[in-house]
Chains A and B, each alone.
Chain A
Amino acid sequence: MTRQSVARLSEHIVEIVSDAGEGAQKAAVSFAQVCAKAGNGLWTVEIIPSEIQPPPHTTGSASGNRIRLAERENVSNAGDLANVVFAFNEMALLSRLEAGSVAEDALFLIDDQWASHDIEAHRRSYAEVLERVRARGGTVIEVPLEKETRRHVDDTRRGKNMFALGMLCALYSKDRATMKAVVRDVFKKKTREVVDTAVRLAENGFSYGLENLETRFEIPALPSDLQKVAMNGNTALALGAVAAGFELCSMYPITPATSASHALSEIFEEFGGFVHQAEDEIAAIGVALGASYVGKTALTITSGPGMALKTEFQGLAVMTETPLVIVDVQRGGPSTGLPTKIEQGDLLHALYGAPGDAPKVVMAASTIEECYYILSTARRIAEDFRMLVIVLSDANLATGQQLFQRPDVSNIPRRLPVDLSPVPEGALPYDWDPVTGLSQPLIPGQPGGMGVITSLNHDRNGKACYDSERNQRAHTMRSRKLAALQKSLRKPEINGDREGALLLVGWGSTRGAIEEAVERARSGGLKVSSLHLTFLSPLPPGLKDIFRAFERVVTVELNYSDDPGDPLITDENRRYGQLAWLLRATTLVEVDCYAQVPGRPFMPAEIYGTIREHLAAGREALKEEPAPEPEEVRKS
């Protein structure tokens, strides 16, 4: 083959999809590894069918990964539309078109076996889909994937993926030796024969690609000395739980949180801990609470429906001031909702889910790296403040993979034993500091500290009491701890200028996409900044001042809000995104929201679109009535 060209790119998004069970995920993970080893920055997102064995050759059966790879080291989100799709059949390809995640001029690689398949329906739909792709402006390369693979293995369902990997590596001009090493590593638990076959297939795919692809790409990596790791957010949570010194994680299976418990179960016993799978979500938090009560702060990991079941125990943890950490890996709700898909719909539930006034700490991870570190913070705050700490993650972080700097484990603090030293005569279980509400717990086993803690309202001595004065007092003390914690939070830093036309505010895993969109807008001269919140309860200080410096403040959230243009929706009855709701209530600033429930992460381009819309709306508003200073508007 002559006339080959290599296009140099700074980043690309490639999606690899097959029927469930055909191993597109493995090909994608291996490809990501090859790119990571080359030094490319990465973000991967799993494309998961919601059933275990969906009917093959349907859009519902599509399984695979989206990989965003870039020249730069730090890729903070899954990016916009895909540039390349490698599909094992046309229905898998179609599913990506339907998801709206592929660029119109994308390059499509597809197995050509369907063009001449025995089943007429397949032949027809293949032709139709290709037709549609081409009509959109896409380029199609038909690849003899099945035919080539069959030359090496009998069961092509277990082989095509490695051939595809080889082709992808050739397409992106990756190093053949690195690819072979990665394949060996990925299959290291298998027999020698399996490994050899996989390597051979990948090599064949690689050679085929070199010979037959007219256009190839190259995304050079920037050199870096940093040691890096790649993992998904749930694995990061699991390793982070170990690093944070937890010894017990009590859970009940729920998507998408469960894989964190899998990763933890795999290693925890080596570190002196274990995962207890309880009989239900309620027991899971109950066991964790029992362990925390006797001095070993425990962890429970769940998702939305589990959070709902845990609310009564959350109230108990708050009432008894027992330290406890709950991780909520959010998914689409309400009810069973979208179990495998992302949503940020549990914010207000985390804050206000328990009956009565139950102040608790809520914090959210925005990257996979933060998933690793967040539990150390959560645990220490839970213990020092004797509070329930809720850590919010989401399905995107849970299953996506990101490269980040390898954590330094050498400075992990030593795990402390349970303090069983005697306490002075007359020590009280709730010896509230009158200013901060803080106190130190009495732990079973400490001589002299015998006493009861109760779910009933109680006094400093732990004894139940029902009078109004002491009920008010106890509430005040529990609430005061949040204020004390808030005093030690930093004023958040603004991404961009401290003032301008528009401030986007976000929390959790949308951070990368928001900041990328803001950068794009700013490089186009737009006066946009963004603000990311790590603590949602208590909120950090200075928000009101920050907001006042911008003409418009808009939250960007993956949860539901009414669209003001919709029928019946008015200023009065519009329901806002959850962070917007919270910020409006706490700052009394007219915060708007871009809150959607697409069941996938935001693309920076979507946010960029929102930025433009809001700026346009702002200009519109200015045109209509040359308004007084924004501050005065709010004062009135």
Chain B
Amino acid sequence: MTSIIEECLDEGCAMRTHSLEDYESEVPRWCKGCGDHGVLAALQRVLRKNNMDPENVVSVSGIGCSSRLPHYLKTYGFHGIHGRALPISTGVRLARPDLKLIATMGDGDCFSIGGNHWLHAIRYNIDGLVLVLDNEVYALTKMQVSPTTPDGWKTNTTPHGTYLQPMNPLSIVAGMTNVSFIAQTATWLPSHLDATIEKAWDHKGLSFVRILQRCPVFMPQAFGEGGLNYPVIFLENEGGIPVTSGLLKRGPAQPHDHLDINEAQRVASTVDPAPMGLLYQNPDLPTYEEVRAERCQRPDHQTFIKRLDRVLDRYAV
């Protein structure tokens, strides 16, 4: 019902046209050359493109460099605790499906301390943009090994090189039940980053986007020195992330069916070259908040009271 009324509100009548400045808060205090700047800008662009009222957007984050993002976005923001952005996000969506959600995490935040929440959030499939800004290192705490740190690299907790193979987050996501959207992009490919975030924004369901970005301070050599020498392959498909001619200079394109989970799982399991673009999308999965709201009745006050009285009857003596 409400949706009908909403449709009836055409733009000229209810909406204000927003500019980029409407989404800008304070000046970001990330290091020079950090990829976080690019992600922030891409988000501001997608907000403007969708002419979102900033008050109807909630940006949730954990702890880490990238989790500072809500501070710099002029929407509502919740800068939470390490690893726990997704439970908070789930609560936001369950209580208020009218709010658009952006959850921003780092690699340690999401894949390590928040690992359990990560897996289950994908299975719940709440509707929201879930961005993991993966720089393959714990940066805010000054260079410790993260789950995605490449094999053998030296960090302050692995001074002689890491002991374990890095985790492949994409194949984990692709293997989760009820996954609805997986994409990978990188901050050194700004147009691809923009297009990916736009695509994720439009998706109904949990849009998991892993964004590769180098930490210029603690891990400048990562990703072939920030993409200069990093083999990627662009996934190309109608309805996927467009592969422009500029991108083809960075790597070849490969046809990919992002509606096929088996195909997505196969591509997700490859790391060299890194697959870029939309790996998987299922636009038809119901979101957890929809599933729960559907069964939820909305009694008016009188009915509410009558029902509660009837429940008490069961215990009457």
Residues on A facing B (Cβ under 8 Å): 33, 36-37, 227-231, 235, 239, 242-243, 247-248, 250, 267, 269-274, 276, 278-280, 282-296, 298, 312-313, 315-316, 320, 403, 406-407, 409-410, 412, 414-415, 418, 442, 444-456, 463-464
User: Which of B87, B96, B315 lies in contact with A445, CB distance below 8 A?
Assistant: B96
Contact indicator B71/A248 (Cβ below 8 Å): no
Contact indicator A272/B296 (Cβ below 8 Å): yes
Contact indicator A294/B95 (Cβ below 8 Å): yes
In the assembly, what is the distance between CA of A287 and CA of B96, in Å?
A: 12
Identify whether the interface residues of A are mostly helix, strand, loop, or mixed.
Answer: mixed
Expressed in whole angstroms, the minimum distance between the Cβ of B192 and any Cβ of chain A is: 28
Contact indicator B96/A444 (Cβ below 8 Å): yes
Contact indicator B60/A229 (Cβ below 8 Å): no
Chain B residues near A316 (CB-CB < 8 A): 80-81, 84
In the assembly, what is the distance between CA of A456 and CA of B80, in Å?
A: 9
Of B30-38, B177-185, B301-309, which binds chain A? B301-309
Q: A294-B99, A418-B96 are in contact. List 16 more A-B contacts (CB 8 A).
A: A229-B312, A248-B95, A272-B297, A279-B117, A288-B91, A292-B91, A293-B88, A293-B91, A293-B92, A295-B96, A296-B96, A412-B308, A452-B25, A453-B77, A453-B78, A463-B71
Given contact pairs A296-B96, A313-B84, A447-B53, A454 touches B307 in the complex (Cβ within 8 A): no
Chain B residues near A453 (CB-CB < 8 A): 77-79
- 8 closest A-B pairs by beta carbon, nearest first, are A290-B91, A286-B87, A452-B77, A291-B95, A36-B317, A279-B120, A290-B88, A444-B76
In the assembly, what is the distance between CA of A247 and CA of B80, in Å?
A: 23
Within 8 A of A (CB), among B288-317: 292, 295-299, 301, 304-305, 307-309, 311-312, 315-317
User: Which of B77, B94, B304, B305 lies in contact with A248, CB distance below 8 A?
Assistant: B94
Q: Is B55 an interface residue (CB 8 A)?
A: yes
Within 8 A of A (CB), among B24-75: 25-26, 53-56, 58-60, 63, 70-71, 74-75
Contact indicator B91/A406 (Cβ below 8 Å): no
In the assembly, what is the distance between CA of A278 and CA of B25, in Å?
A: 34
Chain B residues near A418 (CB-CB < 8 A): 96
Chain B residues near A284 (CB-CB < 8 A): 87
5 contacts between A and B (CB under 8 A): A282-B87, A286-B84, A298-B91, A453-B78, A453-B79
Chain A residues near B78 (CB-CB < 8 A): 290, 293, 320, 452-454
Chain A residues near B58 (CB-CB < 8 A): 294, 444
Contact indicator A403/B317 (Cβ below 8 Å): yes
Interface-central residue, A273, A276, A403, by most chain B CB under 10 Å = A276
Expressed in whole angstroms, the minimum distance between the Cβ of B117 and any Cβ of chain A is: 6
Within 8 A of A (CB), among B110-169: 116-117, 119-120
In the assembly, what is the distance between CA of A270 and CA of B304, in Å?
A: 8
Contact indicator A409/B55 (Cβ below 8 Å): no
In the assembly, what is the distance between CA of A575 and CA of B27, in Å?
A: 53
In the assembly, what is the distance between CA of A464 and CA of B298, in Å?
A: 39
Expressed in whole angstroms, the minimum distance between the Cβ of B161 and any Cβ of chain A is: 32
In the assembly, what is the distance between CA of A448 and CA of B55, in Å?
A: 7
Contact indicator B317/A33 (Cβ below 8 Å): yes
Contact indicator B315/A230 (Cβ below 8 Å): yes
Expressed in whole angstroms, the minimum distance between the Cβ of B110 and any Cβ of chain A is: 14
Contact indicator B81/A250 (Cβ below 8 Å): no
Chain B residues near A293 (CB-CB < 8 A): 78, 88, 91-92
Given contact pairs A235-B315, A452-B71, A271 touches B95 in the complex (Cβ within 8 A): no
Chain B residues near A271 (CB-CB < 8 A): 297, 299, 304, 307-308
Chain B residues near A409 (CB-CB < 8 A): 305, 308-309, 312
Contact indicator B71/A455 (Cβ below 8 Å): no
Chain B residues near A315 (CB-CB < 8 A): 81
Write the chain B residue with the least CB distance to A267: B311
Contact indicator B81/A296 (Cβ below 8 Å): no
Write the chain A residue with the least CB distance to B91: A290
Contact indicator A283/B117 (Cβ below 8 Å): yes
In the assembly, what is the distance between CA of A117 and CA of B88, in Å?
A: 60
Contact indicator A250/B98 (Cβ below 8 Å): no
Write the chain A residue with the least CB distance to B76: A444
Q: Is B207 an interface residue (CB 8 A)?
A: no
Chain A residues near B316 (CB-CB < 8 A): 227-229, 406
In the assembly, what is the distance between CA of A270 and CA of B56, in Å?
A: 28
